[in-house]
Chains A and B, each alone.
Chain A
Amino acid sequence: MSLTIPTDGAATEKNWLEKVGAGHIVLAVVLVLYPLVASDFFLTQIGGYSLIFGMLGLSLMLLAGYGGMVSLAQITVGGIAAYAIAILGNNNSNVLGFGWPWWLAVPFAILAAALASALIGWISVRTEGIYTIMITLAIATATYYFAQQNYAIFNGHSGYAGIRAPAFWGVSWRDPKPFYYLCLGLAVLSYAAVLYGSRSTFGMTLQAIRDNPRRMRALGYHVTAHKVFAWLLAGLIAGLAGVLLVWFNGRVSPGTIGVDAAIDVLIIAVIGGLRHPIGPFLGALVVVLMQTFAIDIVGAERFNTLIGLVFLVIVFVSPDGILGLWGRIKPHLAQESLRSGP
């Protein structure tokens, strides 16, 4: 036997273009050029909003797809960051408002969200499957009602308004184009981090715990600690999304973190697919488009029915969501292109 160790020689010799992948580059070009063709409405209400909810879905995908933990509390975690931005920074509600600059308030808000997420994780990791869903739903509901009834911190039903995205580097980030690029940049950052992290040591431990927690204990892993750390990481992404969400809306109130919003995040992740971090962004785009235009198609009274039907069809046809559909269509397309080739 020679002593040479087989390495990923081929992988290290790949240039950056091959590493990133052609699909990612095409997608990036489309997203970067999108403002050239999109109206302000399509830039923010569709583009920015989809990216924000895609990030919330991504934080759920991290927990559910890699960790097998389905959470209904991701909007709650995002909401904690949103409230923190309102309270630590400036608002016009005359309740609390410390007036911190954005560069101080944002890290604190995200940290608060991540710690809250870790706490929710620590409470819920003792449970499995449907019980995790129930306990996170209970936490989301309790937080909603607490925010609605507490006036000293959350300012009750009306919440906080008059929150503005900051202006720095000579750019007013509230304007449609800068805000879209801000969302895009942070979404790409979160997406790339999750994609890279899925093959990291921690990412592998999380997937192994999903597959077989008992064996992971028998390999020397503190399974609970790994699960809670996953919640902390998911909380960073949800917190970042929460900051963007409060800048997007200019306000935050209990309605932002209600049970319907919590279910929206779950629907986004399930419609998109939980097997790859791109799934939640696809799901977010579909759901945001439907929520925006279903009213025009079927009227104000029936638009939720349409959304529900589309959800049912996608889940029935493909348990893996849109990603699963793509996985089925792709081989057929490849054959078609072979046939139509020269």
Chain B
Amino acid sequence: MSMNSTAIQQTPKSQINFEQVKKKQRMKNFSKGMLFLLPSIVLFSVFLFYPLARTIYLSFFLTDAAGATTVFVGWENYVTMFTSPIFLQSMKSTFLFVLYTVPITIIISLFLAVIANEKLKGIGFFRTIYSSTMGISVAAASVFWLYLFHPSMGPLNLLLNAIGAEGIGWLTDPSWALFAIAITTIWMNIGFTFLILLGGLQSIDSSLYESADIDGAGYFYKLRRITIPMLSPTLFFVVTVTIINAFQTFGQIDILTQGGPVNSTNLVVYSIYREAFVNYKFGSASAQAVLLFIIILLMTFLQFKFGERKVHYQ
């Protein structure tokens, strides 16, 4: 009450120089807004926008070992990149890797989320277990799987031997290594993807299921006709994140295969790392980085355009 009355009393006075006050207020608002945003803007500029611009700039130059530009070469880094069999192999591996990891991660996590969404006793325990891989770092996960993939002692090959099959050179056979990296990655992704999908499932309005129950709908009918369509925005998000993550894969490769055997696991980020920080060719490494940036940008847009039509919004 008292607040209202003071506000009313002040009104006539401020009407006199209304425009001026408004202008002043606008300036004040602007500087205040900037004050709150300044820390983020400064850091984004220094560690994100400037480096991105600098990457594009570097991709047109040759550099010395310290990273200073020496010779302007125009598009030559790009031309070399697209004609280099090693890099083309790297691109092929990267796309194959995305193809391996994304669908399987989504299917497994969706299955886990659906069964963990039932109202059963002790379900919290299972949810914790399924999300556990999110807490396991890439270094630790890679060490776990390094042993699992071990040619003679590894449980996977022991299992194969036990059923009479021959052991696989998981990390040494060029036709298996990428798949082995994919398995490790899928396992690591499950925790996060599961958690997001479970959250999506729990936010579905339960009255939908109740009315379906009254109509006598079966379990799989409800899954197909209610759960999946209602979950589509979440699925859409999860697919995008998994694809982007797959393009950024690094740690698993550094510990498990170092890009080998015969470059079969030399995925794009590892290739950038090797070119820049092992070979000190910052120019051509930057060209690869620009390509990575463009791919991820395209993926995001494509996902958005393609995904939106199929997505069900409430």
B partners with A:
no
